[in-house]
Structure 1
Amino acid sequence: MVTQLLAHGTGEAAAFPVDITYALIGGSWALAISFLVLAFAWKSPRLGPDKHVAVLPGLTRLADSPVLRTALGVLGIAVAVGAVTTGFLARDEHDNPLVGAFFIWLWAGLVPTSLLFGPVGRFLSPVRTLHRWGSAAVGRPPRRGLLDYPQWLGRWPAAAGLFAFVWLELAVVEKGFGAVAWWCAAYLVITAVGAVVFGDTWFSRAEPFEVYSATIATLSPLGRDRSTRMLVLRNPLRGLSDYGTWPGAVAVIAVLLGSTAFDAWSATHSAVGIPARTAILAAFILGVGATFCLATMATGGVTPAQRRAIPGEMAHTLIPIAVGYLVAHYAKYFVEDGQVVLHSWLKAVGLGTPAMWTPFTDHPTALSVLAVAAIIVGHLLAVVAAHDAALRILPRRRHLTGQLALMLLMVGYTFTGLWLLFGG
């Protein structure tokens, strides 16, 4: 059943052959030592977005070609229509192609594709594609809406949409075809209205899955040169500055990070109802956001206005941690259980039988090593990004002392994340 696959991406923590004590001590010490090395060896900002390894003109022409973009848009529409159609055809309420495509192919699948290829969510979005075609049909530029998108709104709608998704995924225990179909219907109405009112700016600022993909894509080795818009090969940490400092920037990352922490916690605390799970999920997310804001603002030598701006200016430093948790929690979920979804699609249209299908074999050692490595590497990259950002943002006399609270918080995130990953 698909719903059996939605409990926890990494599987049973007790099956991990990695010793939790070594993981906790090693991860915490790795961060502390990295911070000390950076403090003495990295004295000026180095991670600006203006440098890259190579320019890729041929790949730029391919990526920008109308044929490829149209093909990706058609693919997104075809998968969406196919998921809904086979969802209605499936007899079982839970072993359902729409449910699997929604939670596994969409949510988990956007992580590796965005890391490898950049913000693919915007090109695969069926609603964005239909909006672009509709605008062309009436002779109206897609960017033009009835109103200008307000700056103060920022990414708050995207954060709210992401919370609605993780609530359905993690707080609702029984999430069969009906629940997913109603969620998608509400999403379609809200997204369509937003696009009409605010133009395609709504997608890049407020549409949850596009913002989700773009956030992950800031760590992609593929990026765009800001002046020429050519595709370039870059140090992934240089792409973090593409995230920007819009209102709600911290909230988006807090939802991603807090929800994966709740996912790990809920693997051993499933016997609670939806109201309690909703409250605990919200507490995890608010805890991440509040502790990050307090840690980044715990510095002297700045004005009150500058202090309030620091969390938004450093929000991008949490992205490697969030991506590390996403990889750790959903690698098995996508690779193995994604095949189950394909089987459910084939079965719904009468093309698949149990005898035809051989699932991918579980590899607990490889999965556990990947999970621990993803979390530790994500935190190490976050320490580097935070140190570089502090050198740019904080007064010179506070370059080191202004980072101490955030450094301690990241060690706490590492310890807590690994502890939850191994089942508490």
Structure 2
Amino acid sequence: MSETLLAHGLGGSSDLPIPVTYALIGGAWALAASFAILLLAWKTPRLNPRRYWTATPLARVVDAPLFRGALGAASVAVAGWTSIASVIGPQDSSNALLGVFYVLVWVGLVPASLFFGPVWRIVSPVRAVYRTLPVRARRTMPQGIGVLPAVVGLFAFVWLELASSDPGSVAAVRVWCLLYVVVMLGGALVFGEEWFVRADPFEVFSDTVARLSVMARDPETRRVVLRNPLDGAATLPVRRGTVTVLAMLLGSTAFDSLAQTPTWKNLVRDAGDPVAARTLGILACVAVVGGLFHLAARATGGVTTERRAQLPGLLAHSLIPIVVGYFFAHYLTYLVEKGQQSVFTLFDPFDRGWNPLGIADASVNYTLSSHPTVVASVTVLSVVVGHVVGVTLAHDAALRLIPKRHALLGELALMIVMVLYTFLGLYLLFGA
């Protein structure tokens, strides 16, 4: 199962319609050209977090007790069914728990949150259970803790998937999920629903990606509105640990690609403790991604020491499209093809021929895998577009946050870092 999890079906460098070197150079030039155009044509801040296109009546449906109750009951039922299957089903890679955990939840959260907003707040089975309990928060969650509990949860997930000795162990995933439920529910009993907002790794992940969703809530009227996704990115709350969350998402995905390179495989094979080597590898990738961004965000003049310290958090939203782009580049075929198999397995976890959805005769469609050139091209496009959007967000934010005569230096440092991200991202994706 571990090999299955790590083999995400990406095309190799030989599947690109152009040499990989040209892709790397082209990506860098695309970013440089975008930056130059922005400097010439985008001279004042244009993005407005409070602006939206139109309001919709969807809030009446989404907030209706019947809808929330039905969706909560369904999420708890699916979680319970998956738990049963994890215990009495086959204890190998065909177990339904693995597909739900690694594919439908972790990878599926990105497109779901991108299209529908912060969906985990609604579909979380732990939240659903908490809402039925006649309890109230006993303490207020300290503001200074930020989203650091979610950082710990995210690291726990990526460690299990990428560093543990057997990420495909049904027992290990079952224990992880049990600890997740205990920690989330226990924290909520003390701090209330604010605990989920700042401690649930899946909710923080979903909420972060959802800042780029076309669907959002008006903070004043609570109506569901349609907006320019770029306007929404800047609504990312700046809390302690926000940059680390994004660095964890981007760095761990980069490590997943790094782990497939022959050089890394040889290094791990020669290491005395492969688990320790992979753990250090994850931490190093996260530290490099976060450290470079932190340094670049602070590389500007004309601001006070206090303001300089705030800049990484205030510019952190520019990393969201890069995370999204890299996730699509890295997990596209994995989501589409393993996602289909995961759904089939979920509704027939014991291979008894059950057919509740009328899909018993369906089979996984491997169209993407059979067109590696298309996949390779989409991979390059996802990475480059993600970085171009990131540069755009950083440019607009810099115009608001940094004095005009010092903005160019700060933006240039971010630009260099994003070019480096592009080079490393594409190299790792196609170098495996």
Alpha-carbon contact 1:122-1:128 (below 8 Å) kept: yes
- Specify whether residues 14 and 145 from structure 1 end up closer, same or farther in structure 2 by C-alpha distance, changes over 3 A only: same
Q: Which residue identity does 2:217 align to in structure 1?
A: R
| Partner residue of 2:143 out of 146, 151, 174 | 151
In the alignment, structure 1 residue 351 sits paired with structure 2 residue 353: yes
Q: Structure 1 residues 101-110 or 265-274, which shifts more?
A: 265-274
DSSP 3-state at the match of 2:300: coil
| Partner residue of 2:230 out of 237, 242, 250 | 237
Alpha-carbon separation, structure 1, partners of 2:60 and 2:349 = 39
The match for 2:380 is 372
Deviation at 1:10, TM superposition (A): 4.0
Give the alignment of 1:72-151 within 5 angstroms. Answer: 72-134=71-133, 138=134, 140=135, 144-151=136-143
| Partner residue of 1:382 out of 386, 390, 393 | 390
Alpha-carbon separation, structure 1, partners of 2:400 and 2:99 = 44
Give the alignment of 1:6-405 within 5 angstroms. Answer: 6-11=5-10, 13-14=12-13, 16-18=15-17, 19-56=19-56, 58-134=57-133, 138=134, 140=135, 144-175=136-167, 176-268=169-261, 269-270=264-265, 272=268, 273-345=274-346, 346-348=348-350, 350-351=352-353, 356-361=361-366, 362=369, 363-405=371-413
Deviation at 1:356, TM superposition (A): 4.1
- Structure 1: 5+ residue stretches without partners: none
Deviation at 1:372, TM superposition (A): 1.3
The match for 1:415 is 423
- Specify whether residues 383 and 36 from structure 1 end up closer, same or farther in structure 2 by C-alpha distance, changes over 3 A only: same
Q: Which residue identity does 1:184 align to in structure 2?
A: C
Cα-to-partner distance string for 1:326-355 (whole Å, 9 max, x where unaligned)? 1111111111011222343314151269x9
DSSP 3-state at the match of 1:400: helix
Alpha-carbon contact 1:155-1:249 (below 8 Å) kept: yes
Q: Which residue identity does 1:285 align to in structure 2?
A: V
Alpha-carbon contact 1:89-1:349 (below 8 Å) kept: no
Alpha-carbon separation, structure 1, partners of 2:80 and 2:15 = 38
Alpha-carbon separation, structure 2, partners of 1:15 and 1:173 = 31
- Specify whether residues 384 and 164 from structure 1 end up closer, same or farther in structure 2 by C-alpha distance, changes over 3 A only: same
- Structure 2: 5+ residue stretches without partners: 269-273
Q: Which residue identity does 2:151 align to in structure 1?
A: A
Alpha-carbon separation, structure 2, partners of 1:75 and 1:149 = 29
Alpha-carbon contact 1:3-1:95 (below 8 Å) kept: no
Q: Which residue identity does 1:292 align to in structure 2?
A: F
Alpha-carbon separation, structure 1, partners of 2:132 and 2:290 = 38
Instruction: Compute the TM-score of the two structures, normalised by the length of structure 2.
Output: 0.92
The match for 2:271 is none
Q: Structure 1 residues 313-322 or 76-85, which shifts more?
A: 76-85
Q: How many residues align?
A: 415
Q: Which residue identity does 2:256 align to in structure 1?
A: D
DSSP 3-state at the match of 2:225: strand
Alpha-carbon separation, structure 2, partners of 1:208 and 1:183 = 13
Alpha-carbon separation, structure 1, partners of 2:23 and 2:65 = 48
Q: Structure 1 residues 402-411 or 366-375, which shifts more?
A: 366-375
Deviation at 1:15, TM superposition (A): 5.6
Alpha-carbon separation, structure 2, partners of 1:5 and 1:46 = 44
Alpha-carbon contact 1:296-1:405 (below 8 Å) kept: yes
DSSP 3-state at the match of 2:118: coil
Q: Which residue identity does 1:324 align to in structure 2?
A: G
Deviation at 1:98, TM superposition (A): 0.6
Alpha-carbon contact 1:221-1:234 (below 8 Å) kept: yes
Q: Structure 1 residues 224-233 or 214-223, which shifts more?
A: 224-233
Alpha-carbon separation, structure 2, partners of 1:66 and 1:15 = 53
Alpha-carbon contact 2:10-2:376 (below 8 Å) kept: no
Alpha-carbon contact 1:5-1:337 (below 8 Å) kept: no
Q: Which residue identity does 1:222 align to in structure 2?
A: M
